[in-house]
């Protein structure tokens, strides 16, 4: 469960859950980053002896924190450009929360309609990340 909070998967899961709980876009980055820090601290305390594994997860943690830091900066600067993290969150909100689409439908829609570089790359990377995690056999 804690690993679902990391990487771009974490971005979409946190965004969907927190927006469904009624947390506003303005509060989203701050609330996510506080929760994420706590989760990652617990994770590193439990798995710090597995260096390769914890290093890989640290990269995913940084990726999630970077997204929400960028989102917080854009919100504080009232930057609503198409090429932004705000565009990603708005699309996730519309497709997942308002329309109750699946993440797969959301990604397909994004890849077929977005043209701005940042959100397009976000959804391409998210698709690849989800394909890797679903391809891992459960034993």
Helices 7-20 and 117-135: angle between axes, nearest 10 degrees: 100
Which pLDDT tens digit goes with each residue over 105-118?
999 999 999 999 99
Lowest average pLDDT, out of 27-31, 53-57, 96-100, goes to 53-57
pLDDT at position 45 is 79
Per-residue confidence band for 135, with pLDDT thresholds at 50, 70 and 90: low
**pLDDT confidence of residue 51:** 73
pLDDT value at position 17? Answer: 96
Give percent helix, percent strand, percent coil of the chain, each to the nearest 5. Answer: 80, 0, 20
The reported pLDDT for the residue numbered 134 is 56
The confidence score (pLDDT) of residue 57 equals 85
Does residue 137 surpass a pLDDT of 60?
Answer: no
Residue that wins the pLDDT comparison between 43 and 124:
124
Q: pLDDT tens, 73-130?
A: 999 998 778 899 999 999 999 999 999 999 999 999 999 999 999 999 999 999 999 9
User: How confident is the model at residue 14, as a pLDDT?
Assistant: 96
First to last CA, the chain: 17
- The DSSP annotation for 87-134 comes to HHHHHHIIIIIIS---HHHHHHHHHHH--SHHHHHHHHHHHHHHHHHH
CA atoms within 13 A of residue 123's CA, in its CB half-sphere: 25
Can you say whether the dihedral through the CA atoms of 67, 72, 73, 79 is positive or negative? positive
Instruction: Compute how many other C-beta atoms are within 10 angstroms of the C-beta atom of residue 132.
Output: 11
Domain residue limits, the chain:
2-135
């Amino acid at each position: 469960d804690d690993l679902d909070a990391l990487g771009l998967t974490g971005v979409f899961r946190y965004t969907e859950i927190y927006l469904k709980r009624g947390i506003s876009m303005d509060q989203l980055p701050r609330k996510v980053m506080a929760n994420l820090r706590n989760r990652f601290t617990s994770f590193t305390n439990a798995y710090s002896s597995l260096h390769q594994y914890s290093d890989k997860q640290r990269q995913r943690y940084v990726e999630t924190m970077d997204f929400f830091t960028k989102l917080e900066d854009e919100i504080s600067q009232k930057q609503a450009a198409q090429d932004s993290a705000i565009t990603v969150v708005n699309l996730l909100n519309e497709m997942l929360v308002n329309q109750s689409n699946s993440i797969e439908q959301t990604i397909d829609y994004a890849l077929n309609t977005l043209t701005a570089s940042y959100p397009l790359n976000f959804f391409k990377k998210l698709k690849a990340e989800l394909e890797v995690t679903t391809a891992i056999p459960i034993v």
